[in-house]
Structure 1
Amino acid sequence: MTQLEEPVSVQEPAAPDGAVPVQAVRDVGSGLTLGRDVIFRYLRNANVDRIFGVPGTNEIPLIDGTDVPENNIEYVPCLHENIALGAAMGYARAKDVPGVVELHVTPGIGHALGNLFNAAKSHVPLVVLCGQQHSNLLLQEPLLASDLVKVAEQYTKWSYEVRGPNELAMAMQRALKVAMAPPMGPVFLSIPWEFLIRPVQPTDGGDGRFTRIGRKFLGDLDEVAKLAKILADANAPVIVAGDGVGAANAWDEVEALAKKLGAPVYTEQLSSYMNYPNDRPEWQGELPGTQEGMRAKLGVHDVAFFCGFNAQAQLVVFDWATGPLIPKGVRQVYLHNDPWQIGKNHFGEAAVLGDIKVTLPKILEKIPGDRTFDEDRARKRREELGQLSHARTQRFEDYAGRSDRADEVIHGSDIARALRDLQRGHSGANGEVIGRLVLVNEAVSDSAALQQYVDFRAPTDYFEAQGGSLGFSMPAALGTHLALGDGATVVNIVGDGSALFYPHAWWTAAKFSMPILYIITNNHRYQTLIKGMEVVEATYGWKPSGPADYLRIDPPPKLDFVRIAASFGVERGAQVSARSALAGELVKALRVVRDERLPYVLEVMTEPEPAEMPRIDVLYAARGGDEDPFGWIGPA
């Protein structure tokens, strides 16, 4: 269809051949189907009831569509595009539907790249709708315009700029199909703004249906048998459960296989789901974030089963001379629904492409029938894991409640244990103060403690951005609450550095009275960067030129996060710096969240965890393995 130029006089110009007259575009009450109507038709069919965004002139027709009652979709305004995109991430993950975000031309997608990257790495399904300038102007390089597809395409499964209103139905059908197809991820549509208010031909409006590719497909049975035999032959098998496990909701299936084999289970670094239940004896925590740590912990095993493994090199330093992350003596087998991730960096002797939840039982069926499988040896491995797990639990309890602590200093483990005690009805509080807890985590230095102590009922009860781009969690908590409503208590725990990225997320929380508990762990330092520098020093013998004060916030800015939140409308909050007061302040905060249905900010003054914190990876320790001195380095 030929594009129309805007009129330059009172007399309307004649429409070029085949074009719709301008008057027809303006007559929005004529009963014509407009471009924006097509978009809402598809979103409704995808069970989307929220659009997140930052208002821009180009997107006004789209935002206005949320005021049309029959569209039944609410607009959630944010004060920054990366907040809107992060909120859409939380909504998509918690609701298992595509998150939808509206952005404003080049600055909009530019501002949102940090969390678009996080969404891509965490495989969160998003439909990003970006308003483009008027199509007749694009050749002339107008204000704020650029090649938006080129900006977004590196971090999306599919990116496209719509060429006319009649393409909108097909573009939306494809966008929703691609976003939700396994493995899920974000897609991007650039839409010249006038297409939103131009009429669509009746034959091109679509009916809102989109292709839904079935996720539960069984892997090749010959390759399944091959993989099962390698596991049955193993003397010391290990399972690495990646985000593919959480996405498939396959806790039970992985646990059944781990118990049959007597195999320990690590989860991948910076997991965005809780990929294995933390109260099972097989669980050994996340793999370390250093080359030496990964090699050491995987190297004591003869077979490694990488199940849904995405984050295969979450490191900041790598030395070729040291050797590959997975030692050459370890046989590798893979299962995933994503062919790109299977054997991506290393050779896999068996490689199964299939849904994890559906395929794992078939692997398990094959193992007892294999003549080389030694059930007695597997039983002994199970018994050892059970004994070590019991000892680990006791050591963590002794550590958290140790009587030799004369100081009132608060560590991340104190916060994690206090949350767990409230979940279980301890600390003088009824367990219903929390009910189901969903933790949105960006206190990276405290992740091990949080994963050890807090109770999780499902993989989606834990959310962390695998991309590591800071400024994710406060926005994501918004969408998580809107998706879950009264079904869970959303707790966002975030370091002070990350909290400074987007404190204006609190404006949206206040506007919609979202009952979210924000816990700010304030340690006045870039702790992960300090660890990262230590790794560089140890690996290369490099030393900083000075005292590296640039990694220490000294003197610390006189920030008061409770007052900052209040300036954005979150008026309930408190600071706590004494360990003896922590549990009581948490009870108070959670009662405001649960009973008054209001957001609350609890700023906790913390110090780094002492070196004597117990280890989660008890099996490796029992084999005489040294603790990784640097632990998880985290986003840097």
Structure 2
Amino acid sequence: MNGAQLMLEMLASAGVRYVFGNPGSTELPLTDAMVAEDRLEYILGLQEVPVMGIAEGYAQATRQPGVVNLHISPGLGNGLGMLYNAYRAGTPLVVTAGQQDRRLRFSEPILWGEMVEVARPWTKWSAEVQRVEDIPAAMRRAIQTALMPPTGPVFLSIPVDVQQQEAPSLDLTPPQPVNPLLRPPADELLRAVDVLATATNPAILAGSRVTESDAISELVTVAETLGAPVISEPGTTHGRLGFPCTHPLSAPGLPLWAPDIHERLSEFDVILAVGLDVLRLYVYYEPERAIPEHIRLVHLDHDPWELRKNHATEVALCGGLKPGLSELGQQLSDHLTPAQHESISERRGRREAAHSEARASLQAQASAELPQRPLTSLALMSSIAAALPPDIAVVEEAVTTTNTYLERLGAIADPTGYFGHRGWGLGWGLNCAIGVQLAWPDRPVLGVIGEGASMYGIQGLWTAARYNIPVTFVIPNNAQYQILKVGARGIGLPHASDGQYVGMDLVEPEVDLVALAGSLGVEACRVTEPEELTDVLAGALADPRPRLIDVPIDRTTPAAMEY
């Protein structure tokens, strides 16, 4: 076998099914080898942003490596924003790229560049394979490193001549990732139990890594034992839904801004943070910090880098979330006194009543806004919610429109089916949705993608059409970068306060997304009425083809985000 064939052999033996790519001259040996490799399918993207985004969606949904092949330095450059997203989300990507023939490097040929150092800041491991004999070990290490918690992307540069070289008989043992996630230390668990059991008004912050660790049911047990509301992480990092939004202890997520987070958390005396970065914020704000100083913080995570990183933490628990929460729930139940159980029961009743009241209030507000035209964000999301089946998976990249409305309306019945931004490099959402649908062919997938964000990776629609990936998109279209307007007003910029902005309106001309989608092979329509939207969306989700629905919405810039 030559080097390219060795790469494919190692991928196939690891159970990899797809290679996502956009080829070039330095990748030709690999694509040629794929002609005879029936265990792998090449998924073509028209540009590197869609390629990376689709691979990330696939990897997030399967928790298996998304394998990418990029075209040398310019291709890596095009994909760097999405690599950043994957790094921030901890997504297990194995990103490869061809490199110029080693015999040409001294002359600095076209397309050549030092890719290893370019990729290093946003990967767990970055290397170049200089010998064909090292390809099996390099591929094995890359896959194992990507999947080792805390998971994340890796990068391999493979020169074109190494891909073509014939190899001697080599060790082709498949990758065997090690799971190091044991329960946290027993003494630290006891300290955490003591803090939580004596809390008078505790809350739980649930992060994306709860879902990714398959620990939702264990967190539900802890929340019910404590009678504590469960709040999702801020919109800045709210990538997965760590707690069922249909559960009566589910509470609205944290807002974007530090002062709003501070105000929201001030009522609590103890917080248990599980599987999230505490906290990765959007803009600088002082003198208030996001977490009030009086709060006693207990933090459980399998990533030691995140423990005690930004905020004073009374108990830091390093270990697997699933075994850690299981042990914590059991010890809490055994530790609580009858008086504490009674107090918790009363607290749980109050929180469940507040949950019901908040949902009813939001539903009433949505009904009141339905007659407005263009549709408000809440009316749009309420109309979407009415069409969603129980097994829906939703990918969001429209932060000023979605506003966690689907969660607060209880529209996502299965918490594993939520995907949101953690890196904020635009172009991710549309393509992530395609990757999720590829991973879950028997589950309907909806992408709610702002018109501005969609244009950063719109070429992905062609891939959805080419491979008949039946994802559905709703585009809330306000023809502007509204998040920037809200941000400018939020930090008190003088012209923004007067409603004056530069470079934030997508008009003159407006993008015709219906025509654009059609040119890329995806059937599309424009809808303005809520009842029509619900009907069209229900039909699109049942359609075995990709579909796009463009919905004009209110262009008024809100004073602040609503979470």
Q: TM-score range by the shorter chain?
A: over 0.9
In structure 1, distance between residues paired with 2:460 and 2:383: 26
- Of residues 321, 335, 340, the one that matches 2:300 is 335
1:396 to 2:348 alignment: no
Matches of 1:544 and 1:414 in 2, distance apart? 26
2:554 to 607, 616, 626: 607
Q: 1 CA distance for matches of 2:495 and 2:297?
A: 37
- Alpha carbons 1:435, 1:488 under 8 Å: kept: no
CA distance in 2, matches of 1:554, 1:609: 14
| Equivalent pair of 1:408/1:580 in contact (CA under 8 Å) | no
1:414-469: CA deviations, max 9, x gaps? 3333333223xxxxxxxxxx562111111111131122235334443111220111
Given candidates 95, 98, 102, the residue that maps to 1:131 is 98
| 1:190 CA drift (Å) | 0.7
Quote the offset at 1:206 in angstroms: 2.5
- 1:225 paired with 2:190, answer yes
Relative distance call for 1:448 and 1:507 in structure 2 (3 A) is same
- Please report how far the alpha carbon of residue 546 of structure 1 lies from its aligned counterpart in structure 2 after TM superposition: 7.6
**Offset of 1:216 from its aligned partner?**
4.2
Q: Which of 216, 221, 234 in structure 2 is aligned with 1:251?
A: 216
Q: Distance in 2 between matches of 1:106 and 1:546?
A: 44
CA distance in 1 between counterparts of 2:59 and 2:137 reads 22
Cα deviation, 1:267-310, whole Å, max 9, x if unaligned, reads 11231111111111221222111111111122221111111112
Aligned counterpart, 1:375? 341
2:207–2:276 contact (8 Å) kept in structure 1: yes
Bigger Cα displacement from structure 2, 344-353 vs 107-116: 344-353
Instruction: Specify the SS of the correspondent of 2:518.
Output: helix
TM-score normalised by L of structure 2: 0.95
Q: Which residue of 2 aligns with 1:59?
A: 27
Indicate conservation of the 8 Å contact 1:295/1:326, yes or no: yes
- The answer to whether structure 1 residue 214 and structure 2 residue 184 are counterparts is no
- Tell me, in whole angstroms, the C-alpha distance in 2 between the residues paired with 1:381 and 1:545: 42
Alignment pair present for 1:276 and 2:243: yes
1:509 to 445, 459, 464: 464
SS state at 2:425 partner? coil
Work out the CA distance in 1 between the residues paired with 2:116 and 2:355: 50
Out of 533, 538, 543, the residue aligned to residue 582 of structure 1 is 533
Deviation at 1:582, TM superposition (A): 1.9
> 1:178 corresponds to which residue?
145
1:48-447 correspondence runs (5 A): 48-70=16-38, 72-202=39-169, 205-214=170-179, 216-270=181-235, 271-310=238-277, 312-319=279-286, 322-370=287-335, 374-402=340-368, 406-423=371-388, 434=389, 436-445=391-400, 446-447=402-403
Q: C-alpha separation between the residues in 2 aligned to 1:228 and 1:604?
A: 49
Flag the structure with larger Rg: 1
SS at match of 1:584: helix
* Residues 280, 316 of structure 1: alpha-carbon distance in 2 compared, 3 angstrom cutoff: same
**Distance between the aligned counterparts of 1:545 and 1:448, measured in 2?**
25
Q: 1:435·1:489 contact (CA, 8 Å) conserved in 2?
A: no
How far apart are residue 610 of structure 1 and its match?
A: 9.7
Q: Matched residue of 2:20: which SS?
A: strand
Q: For residues 260 and 229 of structure 1, what CA distance do their matches in structure 2 show?
A: 14
CA contact (8 A) 1:267 1:286 kept: yes
Matches of residues 439-478 of structure 1 in structure 2 within 5 Å? 439-445=394-400, 446-453=402-409, 455-478=411-434
Q: Which amino acid aligns with 2:501?
A: D
Q: Find runs of 4+ consecutive structure 1 residues off by over 4 angstroms.
A: 541-547, 608-611
Q: Residue 379 of structure 1: CA displacement?
A: 1.1
Amino acid at match of 2:166: P
Superposition deviation, residue 224 in structure 1? 0.8
Q: Against the structure 1 CA distance between its residues 82 and 543, is the aligned structure 2 distance closer, same or farther, given a 3 Å change threshold?
A: same
Q: Alpha carbon RMSD of aligned pairs, Å?
A: 2.1
Tell me how far 1:343 sits from its aligned partner: 1.4
Measure how far apart 1:162 and its partner are: 0.9
Q: Which sits farther off after the overlay, 307-316 or 527-536?
A: 307-316
* Partner SS for 2:491: helix
- Name the CA distance, whole Å, in 1 between partners of 2:319 and 2:506: 52
CA contact (8 A) 1:46 1:97 kept: no
Cα deviation 1:78-115 (Å, max 9, x = unaligned) = 11111101110011111221000001111111100111
- Tell me by how many angstroms 1:544 deviates: 5.2
CA contact (8 A) 2:495 2:501 kept: no
State the 1:552 CA deviation: 4.3
Deviations 1:63-90 (A, max 9, x none): 22221144x1010111111110111001
Question: Is residue 631 from structure 1 mapped to residue 530 from structure 2 by the alignment?
Answer: no
Query: Is 389-398 or 601-610 further displaced after alignment?
Result: 601-610
The one-letter amino acid paired with 1:332 is L
Shift in CA distance, 231/274, structure 1 to aligned 2, threshold 3 Å: same
- 8 A Cα contact 1:122 1:466, kept in partner: yes
Q: 1:47 to 1:87 in 2, by over 3 A?
A: same
SS in 2 for 1:340: helix
Matched residues in 2 for 1:39 and 1:218: separation?
36
Q: Which amino acid aligns with 1:606?
A: I
- The one-letter amino acid paired with 2:532 is A
Deviation of the 1:521 alpha carbon: 0.9
Q: Residue 460 and residue 193 in structure 1: after superposition, are their counterparts in 2 closer, same or farther (change >3 A)?
A: farther
CA–CA distance in structure 2, aligned partners of residues 256 and 602 of structure 1? 39
Structure 1 residue runs without a partner (length 5+) = 1-32, 424-433, 612-628
Q: Distance in 2 between matches of 1:454 and 1:78?
A: 35
- Looking at structure 2, the residues matched to 60 and 566 of structure 1 have their Cα atoms a distance apart, in angstroms, of 31
- Distance of 2:95 and 2:557 partners within structure 1: 43
Alpha-carbon distance in 2 for matches of 1:45, 1:312 = 39
Which consecutive residues of structure 2, in runs of 5 or more, have no partner in the other structure?
none
Question: Quick one: structure 1 residues 386 and 600, their matched pair in 2 at CA, closer, same or farther if it must change by over 3 Å?
Answer: same
Structure 2 letter corresponding to 1:63: T
TM-score by length of 1: 0.84
SS at match of 1:604: strand
Query: 1:603 and 1:209, CA in 2 relative to 1: closer, same or farther beyond 3 A?
Result: same
1:479 is matched with 435
The answer to whether the Cα contact below 8 Å between 1:181 and 1:212 also exists between their aligned partners in 2 is yes
- Specify the alignment match of 2:444 in structure 1: 489
Aligned residues: 559
The 1-side partners of 2:5 and 2:26 are apart by: 16
Check whether the contact 1:573–1:589 (CA below 8 A) recurs between aligned residues. Answer: no
AA paired with 1:277?
A: P
Q: Is 1:559 aligned with 2:511? A: yes
Change (3 A) 1:285 1:544: closer
